[in-house]
Structure 1
Amino acid sequence: YVLVLSGDHVYKMDYGRMLAFHVHKQADLTAACVEVPLADAGSFGVMAVDEQERIVSFAEKPAQPQPDPGRPGVALASMGVYVFNTEFLYEQMTRDADDPRSSHDFGKDVIPYLVPRYRVYAHRFAESSVGVGPDGVPYWRDVGTVDAYWEANMELTKVVPELNLYDRDWPVWTHQEQLPPAKFVFDDEGRRGMAVDSLVSGGCIISGAVVRRSLLFSDVHVECCSLVEDSVILPNVRVGQNVVLKRVVLDRGCKIPERMEIGVDPDEDRKRYHVTAGGVTLVTPAMLGQPVFGIR
């Protein structure tokens, strides 16, 4: 079997349960699905199923999504998580690659072609999710846009976030470079190194600066008298003195010069950076005229 995963979704899932479902159904392909409000379903691949959970139709980002039978306000959206029989996957990838009419997209071409011809089943996320939120709904976020990515990160700064990174029963495994602990220096009035309602990773140094409701990835240095609020700072960033950052996503390796303000004046930011519909400012090294190479 081959497990195909989406790279821009955040969730906790026991793939073993989905694989067992796939084997039990003797499926050629099993697609994981999640229930979403019908009004939001047009942003996803939407499927309809029969009583046995076999997929009878699949449409990628339809203008008029079809509701889940018996639930008029809910649609079944594809999670971009699939289990294939290995030989079947190879055959279908070869067929699609040789089809000049195909755009070679899973949601637009491959899945719609397979649904009426093969044993294609839907596996509901609720049956294999690990843990649920306060409302009883499994945690799942599509972070395919800057706004969605920022919002998902901001949720982690809550006192009790829905996604528990400290869960020892189902830990989130990742590779982190071995770095010293985060360091906070200076304790003078107006020059106090501190972070509140924030996640600060290893290798970070907060030097007489204030960080609020933000996530700092590894090896981020924030210099004296700067303010970082409601922001996501990726690894290896350097923030100079007297800088103000509000609702900003800083890409890896950015070096912010002293006295720069980002996220304060959206009209000014649009001249140089990318400002989203939700008011989040994305900054990359290229936008700052800085090289992107040489970043460890």
Structure 2
Amino acid sequence: MFSKKTLGIILGGGQGSRLYPLTQSRSKPAVPIAGKYRLVDIPISNCINSEIKRMYVLTQFNSASLNRHIKNTYHFSFFSQAFVDVLAAEQTPMSDTWFQGTADAVRQSMHHFLRHDFEYALILSGDQLYQMDYNLMIDQHVKDGAKISIATIPVNSKDATSFGILKSDDNNEVTSFIEKPDEKLLPDWTSEVSDEMKSEGRNYLASMGIYIFNRDLLIELMKNPDTNDFGKEIIPQALGEHKIVSYQYEGYWTDIGNIDSFFEANLGLTDDIPAFDLYNKDRRIYTRARMLPTSKISGTTLNRSVIGEGCIVHAAKIDKSVIGIRSRIGSESTVINTYMMGNDSYETLDEINNNKTSILMGIGERCFIKNTIIDKNCRIGDDVRINGGDHLKDEENDLYCIRDGIVVIKKGAIIPKGYVI
């Protein structure tokens, strides 16, 4: 299997400013998703399911919680060569700067990669939601004799202007590439896609930011210190010089680039048949194993909602919401279109008695919460009303920020009783 000859390299991204304030105190790959996972669990799980068990995660911002999560989660046999290691940006005799882009991050970390025996480098993003068998992509890469492979997904004209768009010939070889094309240029950039994709108007091949490089070529390309980004520089410059192949993927995939896409991806998990299938035993998503009790729910009307382990819920109604681990929701409260990340621990009776605030962790009684993301360890007092939506303008204070009508309660915030947003 070629997977045993492949090294996984997961790019943690930059400062994650578009996901702020969720990235205020954590790196983008460490952002909690789906009530119990972290974003980084997605590419790592895809690798494990594809029998790729040697992985590096590259990051440079707020990496402490990411380090802790990976250390507590991914334990392999003592007799195995499998590992998941975090590589934070570091000063070395060769470089004294932070990562300047995706390619620069790989370049500065090459001395770590080259300690291992591998033939193919699989380069992944740490902020995407999808389930892919990388073996299929690697097999095509080898079969086609490619030097570089790019995973692509058909998109419509509206989305095409936000991605790198490429064209390929009948042999899947990439012939041209353009980064975020203007809408006027799109008629010249259509590609051959399946009939199903055509019926949906998805006629453009967008780069997913997932690459396979042959080891020798990656070493050669990384010698040029003036190229900092794969999509903007490495790939366009390699066209015509090396054989680049497109691997077309048509499953569910979304780029968690901003608060809106993050919010929609989480609430999408509440659909009757979610596009992202957490229940597929062959494509399971791994995360930290927590010894939590079952959730306890009393007097609550539940509709299209996902409830994590260890929750204590007395709410009147929860509709189309994701409730994360160890969440507490008081009686007569209503929660609609909300992602509540949950808590890192339970409060003991002694802690409750010694608290400087009378507001317990979680959501209090008689609250109304809608179109909201509640970050971890928040305290929302009784009779609080948060009604997110397009009627709200973007703003920010110490307790919350509003982005595109979505109210984001900051990590550890204390919302006073009777507060209204």
- Residue 150 of structure 2 is aligned with which of 31, 38, 41? 31
Partner amino acid, structure 2, of 1:284? K
Q: Unaligned regions of 5+ residues in structure 1, if any?
A: 127-137, 186-191, 290-296
The residue type paired with residue 158 of structure 2 is A
Q: Which aligned pairs between 1:38-57 and structure 2 lie closer than 5 A?
A: 38-57=157-176
List runs of 5+ in structure 2 lacking aligned partners: 1-119, 344-360, 416-421
Task: Encode CA deviations 1:263-282: one digit per residue, 9 max, x unaligned.
Answer: 257548735443333x3222
Per the alignment, do residues 47 and 268 of structure 1 end up closer, same or farther by CA in structure 2, a change over 3 Å counting? Answer: closer
Q: 1:57-68 to 2 correspondence within 5 Å?
A: 57-63=176-182, 64-65=185-186, 66-68=188-190
Alignment of 1:232-247 (within 5 A): 232-236=339-343, 238-247=362-371
* Aligned position for 2:408: 282
- Which residue in the other structure is 2:306 paired with? 199
Correspondence for 1:183 among 296, 307, 310: 296
SS of structure 2 residue aligned to 1:17: helix
1:218 aligns with 2:325: yes
SS in 2 for 1:46: strand
For the residue of structure 2 that corresponds to 1:107, the secondary structure is helix
Query: Is structure 2 residue 135 aligned with structure 1 residue 16?
Result: yes
What count of residue pairs does the alignment treat as equivalent? 266
State how 1:1-296 maps to structure 2 within 5 Å. Answer: 1-63=120-182, 64-65=185-186, 66-69=188-191, 74-95=203-224, 98-99=225-226, 102=227, 104-126=228-250, 138-185=251-298, 192-236=299-343, 238-264=362-388, 266-267=391-392, 270=395, 272=397, 273-277=400-404, 279-285=405-411
- Aligned in 2, Cα 1:123/1:70: closer, same or farther, shift over 3 Å? closer
Query: Which residue identity does 2:293 align to in structure 1?
Result: P
Structure 1 position 288, deviation (Å): 5.8
Q: Which has the higher helix share?
A: 2
Structure 1 residue 209 displacement after superposition: 4.3
What SS does the corresponding residue of 1:252 show, helix, strand or coil?
coil
SS of residue in 1 equivalent to 2:208: strand
Contact map agreement 1:230 1:247 (CA 8 A) in 2 = yes
CA distance in 2, matches of 1:155, 1:25: 36
Q: 2:179 corresponds to which letter in structure 1? A: E
Which letter maps to 1:276? R
Shift of 1:31: 0.4
2:379/2:412 contact within 8 Å kept:
no
**Post-superposition offset of 1:94:** 3.5
Q: CA deviation at 1:172?
A: 2.8
CA RMSD of aligned residues (A): 2.5
CA 92–246 in structure 1, closer or farther in 2 if over 3 Å, else same: same
Q: CA deviation at 1:51?
A: 2.0
Residues 59 and 107 of structure 1 are in contact (CA less than 8 Å); yes or no, is this contact kept in structure 2?
no
Identical pairs, percent: 31
2:328 & 2:223 partners in 1: Cα distance? Answer: 48
Deviation at 1:122, TM superposition (A): 0.6
How much has 1:261 moved relative to structure 2?
1.9
TM-score normalised over the length of structure 2: 0.58
Q: 1:32 to 1:211 in 2, by over 3 A?
A: same
| SS of equivalent residue, structure 1 residue 94 | coil
**Partner of residue 54, structure 2:** none
- Secondary structure of residue in 2 paired with 1:242: coil
Q: Which moved more, 1:66-75 or 1:245-254?
A: 66-75
1:177, CA displacement in angstroms? 2.2
In structure 1, what residue type is equivalent to 2:166? M
Q: Counterpart of 1:134?
A: none
Q: Is residue 269–residue 281 contact of structure 1 (8 Å, CA) maintained in 2?
A: no
Q: How many Å separate the matches in 2 of 1:91 and 1:147?
A: 39
